[in-house]
Structure 1
Amino acid sequence: MQKFDVIIIGAGAAGLMCALTAGYRGRNVLLLDNAKQLGRKILISGGGRCNFTNQNIEPAAYLCRNTHFVKSALARYSQWDFIGMVERHGIEYHEKTLGQLFCNESAKDIVTMLTTECEWAGVKIQLRTEILQISKQQQGFGLSTAEGTYQCDSLVIATGGLSMPKLGATPFGYKVAEQFGLQVLPTTAGLVPFTLQPEDKERYEQLSGIALPVIATAECGKQFKEAMLFTHRGLSGPAVLQISSYWKPGEKVGFNLLPETSFVDWCNTVTQESPKLSFKNALSRLLPKRFVERLVELGDLPEKNLNQLGKGEIQQIADYLHNWQIAPNGTEGYRTAEVTLGGVDTDELSSKTMEAKKVPGLYFIGEVMDVSGWLGGYNFQWAWSSGYAAGEVV
């Protein structure tokens, strides 16, 4: 049996950060993963450029049943700390929109940086290792694997959630939590495209590929101002992914299709300038032509000239365009979801150390717990912050 101070299961973003942090403290660290390569989710993120953090990190950008849980870790290892590491390694990056930071070259740069830091910190990394059994011992934990048995004082679970099963996502972390008597909250897919009801799919599927800026609003009142994209299956794009985390089955989502324009004011101005212009052609100056034509074809918008529109009709059109409603059929599920909502109940964990209150020496970090961030680097920052918090004490 091999003995380590710390064993971390899961060599993704949180696991790598925890490993290097603990290693630099002089701890003897073993990082285990069942996968063939490190940081698979990092490598495919941000279209292969890795949206590694956001300049605007704040606790309000996280969904968690305990709204205060994320504050301590985010404050002690902030986006600026991670950006500092990126800059020390000479990785060039840029801001895309809304504070989102991406590598100029490749997500591989982030994985290489973390791997290098782990090497410098003396961390032992072992891939292709299946965990068969975990047991609590008189001191620490015992692990039985296909590669042999191990013993450690501190055990860290960094195995992520259920999103993107093709990358190896499994419920392993939840099962460990339940094995040790910790509550696991129900999980659902988050940051995920919507599928449409059959009748809406028929109405809109020919619009696949059309994107437009919107303000998406959930029934709980949460709003996001970003792009919406029509797909063959339903709706996607940043605004839809963001609002999906706040949507509940059976609810509607409202979309302001003209977030920068008051339709009534615009319509009155254009009517004065070009009264005989067709409404369809006029509106195509503001919205994608194919989208406008389809709404007219469906009878949702009138086929008239501007000067034929009455005051009441203009207000009706304004209400429709500023609050276009869709009742999603569901979501595309974990297959395309960027995060998993729910997970290990944070009430079971210390917000300062990520240690299980009932099981000394057992820690949970990253996506496996009930913490999910917005789209745009927030979830990676939670991985860095929670990994660092545990790495400081294991």
Structure 2
Amino acid sequence: MKQVDVIVIGAGAAGLMCAAQAGYRGKQVLVLDMGKKPGRKILISGGGRCNFTNEGAKPENYLCQNPHFVKSALSRYSAQDFVELVDRHGLAYHHKTLGQLFCDNSAQDIVDILLTECDWAGVTVSLRSEVLQVQKQDGGYLVNTNNGEFYCTSLVVASGGLTMPKLGATPIGYNIAKQFGLNVLPTTAALVPFTLHDHDKERFDGLSGISIATSVTSESGVSFKENILFTHRGLSGPAILQISSFWQAGESVSINLLPESDITNIIKEWRESNPKKSLKNMLATVLPKSFIEAMVSQQDITDKTISQLSNQDITQLSQYLHSWQIKPNGTEGYRTAEVTLGGVDTDELSSKTFEAKKAPGLYFIGEVIDVTGWLGGYNFQFAWSCGMACGLAVDAEK
């Protein structure tokens, strides 16, 4: 049996960040991960370029049953702090309009930075190491793996959620939490595409790949103004992924297909400039032609000339285009979701150290806990922030 100060379960964003900080404090740190590679979710994120933070990350960008929980970690290690870290490593990156920062080259660059930090800090990363059992023992924790037993005084669970099982996602983190008496909130897939009922899939057949700039609103009143994307299975795109975190089964979402303009005013202009042209052809100048044709063929949009439109026609068209109602059948689930909503109840943890209140020396960080960020680098930023906070706290002198 090998003895170390700190064991971190999970070589993802939060786990590696935590391990490096603990190592820099002189702690002997072992990271255990069952995968063949570290940072597997990092590597596929952002289309392989990793949206590694968001410059505007604030507590209100996170879903958590305790909305105050994220404040401490985010304030102590901000997006700018992580940017300073990657700058020191010479990372080439670029900004996008909503505050997202992406690698210029590859997400591997972020993994390399984390592994370099761990190497400099003297951290051991053990891959293909599956945790079989955890036990409390002699004031610390005995971790049994397929590669033998390890003992530590501080155990950090950074095992992630249930998203993307093909990358090895398992419920081990939740199981450890329950084993030590911590409450685990129900989990569901978040930041995930919607699937549609068969009748809607038939209506939109042939529209796959079409993107529209919209504003999407949930029944709870939360809105996001970004693109939607038609897929073979339903709807995706940034606005849909965002709203999925606020959607409950059986609810509808309202989609404003022309968020920057008022179709009533547009038609007034068309009446003067193009009264004899068909509504279908004129709408195709402001929305994708194939979408308009599909809606006309379904008789959702009338096929008249501009001059033939009655006030009732215009009112109905305005309601349709500015408040298009879609009731999803469900989501694509954990297979394609970016994050897991729910998890270890944050009321069970210290917001400063992430230590379990009921189990001294046991910590939970990252996606395994009930903190879910918006799309756009927010989840990575919380991983860096909570990893740093935990790494500075583990195995501290009591």
TM-score bin, normalised by smaller chain: over 0.9
User: Structure 1, residues 65-87: CA drift from partner, whole Å, max 9, x if none?
Assistant: 11110000000011001000111
Q: 2-side partners of 1:147 and 1:207: how far apart?
A: 51
Q: 2-side partners of 1:38 and 1:144: how far apart?
A: 20
Match of 1:156 in 2: 156
Match of 2:242 in 1: 242
Q: 2-side partners of 1:246 and 1:344: how far apart?
A: 19
Match of 2:2 in 1: 2
Q: 2-side partners of 1:140 and 1:270: how far apart?
A: 75
Q: Does 1:211 align with 2:211?
A: yes
Amino acid at match of 2:265: D
Q: Does 1:105 align with 2:98?
A: no
Match of 2:179 in 1: 179
Amino acid at match of 2:37: Q
SS in 2 for 1:169: coil
Q: 1-side partners of 2:103 and 2:130: how far apart?
A: 32
Q: 2-side partners of 1:132 and 1:239: how far apart?
A: 39
1:261 CA displacement: 0.8
Q: 2-side partners of 1:165 and 1:268: how far apart?
A: 52
Amino acid at match of 2:273: E
Runs of 4+ in 1 over 3 A off after TM superposition: none
Amino acid at match of 1:26: G
1:315 CA displacement: 1.4
Amino acid at match of 1:214: T
Match of 2:347 in 1: 347
SS in 1 for 2:106: coil
Q: 1-side partners of 2:387 and 2:163: how far apart?
A: 19
Amino acid at match of 1:282: M
SS in 2 for 1:18: helix
1:270 CA displacement: 1.3
Q: 1-side partners of 2:27 and 2:287: how far apart?
A: 58
1:145 CA displacement: 1.2
1:312 CA displacement: 2.1
SS in 1 for 2:206: helix
Q: 1-side partners of 2:345 and 2:111: how far apart?
A: 29
1:148 CA displacement: 1.2
Q: 1-side partners of 2:320 and 2:70: how far apart?
A: 39
Match of 2:90 in 1: 90
Amino acid at match of 1:260: E
Q: 2-side partners of 1:83 and 1:270: how far apart?
A: 49
Q: 2-side partners of 1:64 and 1:206: how far apart?
A: 38
Match of 2:132 in 1: 132
SS in 2 for 1:328: coil
* Residues 295-314 of structure 1 mapped to structure 2, 5 A cutoff: 295-314=295-314
Q: Does the CA-based 8 Å contact 1:205-1:231 persist in structure 2? A: no
Match of 1:24 in 2: 24
SS in 1 for 2:225: strand
Match of 1:262 in 2: 262
1:311 CA displacement: 1.6
Match of 1:49 in 2: 49
Amino acid at match of 1:244: S
Q: Does the CA-based 8 Å contact 1:165-1:335 persist in structure 2? A: yes
Match of 1:320 in 2: 320
When the two structures are superposed, what TM-score results if normalisation uses the length of structure 2?
0.98
Q: 2-side partners of 1:163 and 1:132: how far apart?
A: 20
Q: Does the CA-based 8 Å contact 1:253-1:327 persist in structure 2? A: yes
SS in 1 for 2:367: helix
User: Structure 1, residues 125-181: CA drift from partner, whole Å, max 9, x if none?
Assistant: 111111111100121111111111111010000000000000110101000000101
Unaligned runs of 5+ in 1: none
Match of 2:67 in 1: 67
CA RMSD of aligned residues (A): 0.6
Match of 2:196 in 1: 196
User: Structure 1, residues 266-309: CA drift from partner, whole Å, max 9, x if none?
Assistant: 11011111110110010001000000011000000011100000
When the two structures are superposed, what TM-score results if normalisation uses the length of structure 1?
0.99
Q: 2-side partners of 1:108 and 1:145: how far apart?
A: 27
SS in 2 for 1:358: coil
Q: How many residues align?
A: 394
Q: 2-side partners of 1:58 and 1:205: how far apart?
A: 39
Q: 1-side partners of 2:277 and 2:203: how far apart?
A: 26
Query: Percent identity over the alignment?
Result: 63
Q: Does the CA-based 8 Å contact 1:11-1:38 persist in structure 2? A: yes
1:96 CA displacement: 2.0
Q: 1-side partners of 2:48 and 2:263: how far apart?
A: 39
Match of 1:286 in 2: 286
Q: Does the CA-based 8 Å contact 1:340-1:367 persist in structure 2? A: yes
Match of 1:372 in 2: 372
Unaligned runs of 5+ in 2: none
Q: 1-side partners of 2:103 and 2:208: how far apart?
A: 29
Q: Does the CA-based 8 Å contact 1:205-1:234 persist in structure 2? A: no
Q: 1-side partners of 2:209 and 2:10: how far apart?
A: 36
1:97 CA displacement: 2.8
Q: 1-side partners of 2:376 and 2:304: how far apart?
A: 42
Match of 1:359 in 2: 359
Q: 2-side partners of 1:301 and 1:214: how far apart?
A: 18
Q: Does the CA-based 8 Å contact 1:61-1:378 persist in structure 2? A: yes
User: Structure 1, residues 110-131: CA drift from partner, whole Å, max 9, x if none?
Assistant: 0011100100001011111111
Q: 2-side partners of 1:5 and 1:48: how far apart?
A: 34
1:206 CA displacement: 1.7
Q: 1-side partners of 2:262 and 2:73: how far apart?
A: 42
User: Structure 1, residues 11-38: CA drift from partner, whole Å, max 9, x if none?
Assistant: 0000000000101111111111010111
Q: 2-side partners of 1:205 and 1:193: how far apart?
A: 17
